[in-house]
Structure 1
């Protein structure tokens, strides 16, 4: 019997987030808030409310109170970066867990994140907030090239770019500054660009569940990045036996990061560079990870992050049991169109060319859509994905390479 009643604010894109709703709907009574009439979501919800504007906090609170009038709400959750602050405000208005808006803002605002981590002496790249080209040039000269530019309020690698010289930096400032135009619903600031030291080394992410101040790392993913000088995430590898699980320095940095941010309840997605001088924190998101990383963790036999996130949203200890049986490495690869402004007619994989290790693959673009590779298209430029399961990461990567050769993108 489903005893907890959970308000979910926006389902997200089906291909990337359906598995989250599917998991929590087995144990929770879900009331969904969304901006369009539901279709596929109906299979996982007990009720729903369509709203005109997710930025209208007062309207969201009214929706939450109406849902609670039918059956008391135990929690509210959101896995879309754009609306996590509003979700915290709704939780606060109803006296539910996760209602600390200031904590969410410290994660949402990259400059505030840097300030909090600096105060907590957490290792991270040097970072300076600037307002434009001349200030950025001066700061970059002091840090030393290459540097990384990123917008203060965006996510998903949008607007993030490496500059290797003053000439490249001028172009990077224009790219980063213009990125906010694509997300007018997000906060804007007069000083809106971070110029940061470039942290050399591979990048990982650690998804954690936090309950009453206890930080539990649950999923560790190795990130694959492409399309330099941009930082587009082209794939992830989740290995349950990754030697980094035994790295006490890394674990200490993750725990101290949450302490510095005063993050006591919820789920986080922390991105870290493994530099020659040790791990350095790149950013912290106050939500469950994207890129289907939690799905990889689940498919490989790890704990269900969706259920754990729902648990802490309702104020109860998270369930973190791993699946019984042999665990495997799980990996995902994202594929992109060959050129800008590709008008999609069809996306498919030739079954005969997909190896047995690829257990799931499919399109991320529909007929008539226009897709571009980075920099014009980033996450929104992807046309397909494939997921592989195997005994080791190299076998997964080889299988995903083979799946890429079996991908067919027909152009209209």
Structure 2
């Protein structure tokens, strides 16, 4: 048994220090963390009190690891911020009898075809979608829906294998890209979805659900580039965003339609001419440091909220700050060898509004843009700023990127 007076929380899959390290650090301020991951803790160091090594995508392996931890500690809850560990974490929570959403609801969120079906059944505005197995079926589905369409693996994340197709001539080649992505997707879904392309600005609604009641906490306005791919290149969060009361009911309807009763949700949608329509429901904290942006803009601590809900405690859902936070993700101009990456800011003289400047690659590294590259090989770094308004945030990011030197030898 744990000797600590603090509750022990199992975190499933907390390896990534760049995009998820803040989650572990913020939760460790209030809970003792017992980690289940594919390898022993490294950077987590003093942040965890115990660990088990297991395949975090395998419900049986995660449950066995969790039961081993439960023999040594009184477990208060289970949480994950990894898309591919949602079902295993739900299975473990159910086995331990701690709060959490059902395995069925996590499967519904992971399988985008199931998501579309449930949204349609509950009258939640979404995109028309047909699951297909091969190019012949994809051709028929695209003709039925009407171009442009989007091809999307049924149970992936991070825009892997997602591509827009504007006409029949493009379909065969772009089908190969989507099918390759689908070959490595999670086990919760199968095949590729052919979907209606939703026109309009993309946003996400960051939500917290307690006892089946969903509260929309913030709106994230997104920047997407590298068409026909859907690489996210920036995000902006503003406390009290005027969109929030308009999109909150739709986000809550989507969460309820999937049967999700607890946790944090990252609900993506597009603002079309016919109104907001759901892209997908991710039953975890959004990626690309969105949780950091929410905390900087509103004071709301999404990882701590997730932990509180997982342990059956009352989370703090009232904003304590009112400003804007934004991130721009830096990509090279072309694929090749990174020669120079430099931001001329003197140590100790950084502007107070520059919250974080992180480099992901070093000179000499090979960088590769889509379609041949992925998030790991394409991104060079990111910048996070705070401001009093979205306009000021954009100006501050532009000031930094104008000073940035980023050169590549193709």
Instruction: Give the 5 Å matches for 1:2-401.
Output: 3-51=6-54, 53-98=55-100, 100-181=102-183, 183=184, 186-187=186-187, 192-247=191-246, 250-323=247-320, 327-340=322-335, 342-344=336-338, 347-351=341-345, 357-366=353-362, 369-380=365-376, 381-401=378-398
Partner Cα separation in structure 2 for residue 300 and residue 193 of structure 1: 37
After TM superposition, give the deviation of residue 179 of structure 1 in Å.
1.1
RMSD: 2.2
Asked whether the 8 Å contact 1:110–1:153 carries over to 2, the reply is: yes
SS in structure 1 of the partner of residue 244 of structure 2:
helix
* TM-score, structure 2 as length reference: 0.92
Question: Structure 1: where are the runs of 5+ without partners?
Answer: none
- Kept after mapping to 2: 8 A contact 1:152/1:192: yes
What count of residue pairs does the alignment treat as equivalent? 403
Query: TM-score, normalization: structure 1?
Result: 0.92
Cα deviation, 1:316-353, whole Å, max 9, x if unaligned, reads: 22222433xx521000000112322x344664422169
**Distance in structure 2 (CA, Å) of the matches to 1:212 and 1:99:** 9
Secondary structure of the corresponding residue to residue 309 of structure 1? helix
Contact 2:12 2:80 in 1 (8 A): yes
Distance 1:387 1:124, change over 3 A: same
Task: Please list every run of at least 4 consecutive aligned residues from structure 1 whose deviation after the TM superposition is greater than 6 angstroms.
Answer: none
Q: In the superposition, relative to structure 1, how do residues 168 and 270 fare at CA in structure 2: closer, same or farther (>3 Å)?
A: same
Deviation at 1:230, TM superposition (A): 0.9
Is contact 1:219-1:294 (8 Å) kept? no
Q: Tell me, in whole angstroms, the C-alpha distance in 2 between the residues paired with 1:140 and 1:84.
A: 31
Q: 1:368 to 1:79 in 2, by over 3 A?
A: farther
Secondary structure of the 1:224 match is: strand
Residue by residue over 1:359-409, the C-alpha shift from the partner in whole angstroms, topping out at 9 and shown as x without a partner, is 211112256643212222232221100001111112212222232233344
Question: How far apart in 1 are the matches of 2:373 and 2:353?
Answer: 29
